Structure 1
Amino acid sequence: MVTKTYGQMCSIARSLDVLGERWSMLIVRELLLGPKRFKNLRDALTGVGSNRLSDRLKGLEEVDVVRRTTLPAPASVQVYELTERGERLRGPMVALGLWGLDLPVDERIDPQTARADLVGMALAGTQQKLLDPARRDAYEFHVGDEVFHLRLRDGRFIAQSGPAPIDPVVTVMSDLESFYDVARRVLTPSQAIKDGRVTTTGDRRALVELFDVLVYVPGAPLLTPLA
């Protein structure tokens, strides 16, 4: 139940009634990367207490943004995931992330909280053209200690935590700085591979082609968000 409201008959205000509480949008951010256990969410959201996290999850459940489910065997654990309504936040959330890329970094922000999967989620939002909806390609990234993947769904890339659920067309290994440089086009994939900052298994050309499609252009419009 929403406990605070702007009291305005405006869809932006009503959306903020639901998502504007501290931590709520970051919970959505984490679940855009895939279903998470309560502990996984608490560990990812440094600074949130268990009680506050429980309250925010309960509130998001009540407005049909988040639901609890149980993963199939052999995992068989309870997780939180986005509902269809929650998944519709992917486009706005990625757009917000891209909008914030060039904001100055407050000195209170811990640089150790930087994560490759979050860069990957923003990167997926830079897609410049719709691909064949029949393609189901996956691209797996090992960046430092992190593993995440980009996969095509209905012609659009989405980022998800963990290994790809299918055999990836290419697997990419790098440190965070090198991955970030490639993502921001400070370094081309070909040059990163030549310099030894990035290594690959599988189809190396697929990595080059990926970054021909994912191009960060400040102010460029996004593709129609995933429904």
Structure 2
Amino acid sequence: MPNKTYGQLCPIARSLDVLGDRWTLLLIREFLLGPKRFKDLLAILTAMGPNRLSERLAMLVQNGVIQPVTLLTPAATPAYELTELGERLRTPVLALGFWGLGLPVDERIDPSSARAELIALCLTCAHDPAASVGLQEVYEFQVGPEVFHIRVSDGSLLARSGPCTEPVDIRIQCDMDTFIALVLRQITPTQALGEGRAKLLHGDRPAFMRVFKVLEYKP
């Protein structure tokens, strides 16, 4: 099925020809967190349905935004990941997400849909690079049932779904409310540890303090 088009030779219109359909940007959001299998995407975007998901994935492959890939663990499994062209969407999509952090939440929004890894993903585009200049570290988080990690590399941050396959510098366990309170600076890391709201599973206290300086949300 050919793409719908606005028929305008305008960069914004051409971008929307590829990305403007419902669900497409949410698929890009998931791929910004790393490669994803079909069943992973369907589990996250349940209302999308398998037929529409197949259609959107085929369209994104056709337009060179994503490409098939084989994940080797736990067994060889087909999946999709962003291409170099798709990766160029990181800055504009995360800027859109960061803008959305300031929007009010109305009664149509399901609070249980909140995911700490998506909050972390949006914060990676808005952090103060000076807070992580010279750092080469990996932070892993267990927030409720979620596991994700953030790679810090000399002023840049990269969020990824799942546990890190390499050694990490720090591993933190907390619930969603505590994670949000920490990144919003509503509580300090010292308070979170002292009150038992967060646990340090690996790493030391100075590293724990540094994590939430790097991730601090500054509207």
- CA shift at 1:69, angstroms? 1.1
Higher RCO (C-alpha under 8 Å, 6+ residues apart): 1
Q: Which runs of 5 or more structure 2 residues have no equivalent in the other structure?
A: none
Q: Which residue of 2 aligns with 1:158?
A: 158
User: Is the contact made by 2:143 and 2:173 (CA closer than 8 Å) also made in structure 1?
Assistant: yes
- CA shift at 1:165, angstroms? 2.2
Q: Which residue of 1 aligns with 2:16?
A: 16
Paired residues for 1:1-227 under 5 Å = 3-72=3-72, 75-129=75-129, 131-132=132-133, 135-153=135-153, 155-200=155-200, 201-218=202-219
Percent identity, please. Answer: 51
Task: Quote the Cα distance in structure 2 between the aligned partners of 1:177 and 1:129.
Answer: 25
- CA shift at 1:105, angstroms? 1.4
Task: Tell me the secondary structure at the aligned position of residue 75 of structure 1.
Answer: coil
User: Is the contact made by 1:35 and 1:80 (CA closer than 8 Å) also made in structure 2?
Assistant: yes
User: Is the contact made by 1:2 and 1:18 (CA closer than 8 Å) also made in structure 2?
Assistant: no
Task: Quote the Cα distance in structure 2 between the aligned partners of 1:127 and 1:114.
Answer: 20
Letter in 2 for 1:57: L
Q: Which runs of 5 or more structure 1 residues have no equivalent in the other structure?
A: 219-227
Letter in 2 for 1:78: P
Task: Tell me the secondary structure at the aligned position of residue 171 of structure 2.
Answer: strand
Task: Quote the Cα distance in structure 2 between the aligned partners of 1:52 and 1:96.
Answer: 24
* Equivalences, count: 217
- CA shift at 1:60, angstroms? 0.5
User: Is the contact made by 2:127 and 2:218 (CA closer than 8 Å) also made in structure 1?
Assistant: no
User: Is the contact made by 1:170 and 1:204 (CA closer than 8 Å) also made in structure 2?
Assistant: no
User: Is the contact made by 1:4 and 1:17 (CA closer than 8 Å) also made in structure 2?
Assistant: yes
- CA shift at 1:144, angstroms? 0.5
Q: TM-score under structure 2 normalisation?
A: 0.92
Structure 1 segments of 4+ aligned residues over 4 angstroms from their partners = 130-133
